Amino acid sequence: MEPWFEGKVALVTGGGDGIGRASAVLFARRGARVVVADIHHKTGEETVAAIRSFGGDGTFISGDISDAGAVQTCVKETINRYGRLDCALNNAGIILPQDGSWDEDAFDRIIRVNLRGVMLCMKYEIPELLKAGGGAIVNTASINGFVASATVPMPAYTSSKHAVIGITKSAALQHARNNIRVNAICPGVTMTNMVKDVWEYSEEARRTLTNFAPMGRMARPEEMAEAAIWLCSDKASFVTGHSLVIDGGFLAG
């Protein structure tokens, strides 16, 4: 293990699969004690098992980040278990198949999870980071935080990710002199369960995903994890308010 985070505690929401799981495992490999938060008990425990398989220290906490009480409990249990919080990856998010149809219930649910959930996480994480003398937060946005798609219309998801970039900048400026850095990662198409859901929309969606990035492939969750963990580390000590695009060149065009 590389001791980037020796003695530190990291919280990863949406840690049960995809980018969240890859990040939780990488945090542990680099020395952090990791709390894996996810609404799905089975996959969350699987991530913890993966961490423990190489001698890492991980704990699972179940909860829905769109619920303020659940988020408060998650952070409280992190402190009860490990005594502090130093880093957080607010990664949990959803896409619903109805997103493109202007369905009101789908829109509300996506905003509650993808935006309100990030807000609630930071609301309860930041006081603990202040107690620890500072720390780092990374929020998972998306390239859909910069552009929309006519081929795969996702108005609610796209709106939520634009807003995640905005709230990241706001929090970064608010706490820039408190030794708390707040950044975002903006993944391109990455082979996660969420992308697999989009894959099922249509044949046109599948063609789009397959040929999306100029590099000619989809990203691996581990590639996103490397970026997120770097932003949380002291190696990124002068980086705050930044939205790091990791998209295989898509936005360059």
Separation of alpha carbons 17 and 23, rounded Å: 9
- Residues in contact with 212: Cβ distance below 8 Å, sequence separation at least 6, in sequence order: 188, 189, 218, 248, 250
Residue with tokens 């044949």: 203
SS3 of 174, please?
A: helix
Full strand arrangement of the beta sheet holding 87-90 = 58-62, 33-38, 9-13, 87-90, 135-140, 180-187, 243-246
| Residue in 82, 124, 157, 201 annotated catalytic | 157
Q: At 198, which amino acid appears?
A: V
Separation of alpha carbons 156 and 166, rounded Å: 15
* Phi, psi of 176, deg, nearest 5: -60, -30
* Catalytic-residue membership of 82: no
Active site residues: 157
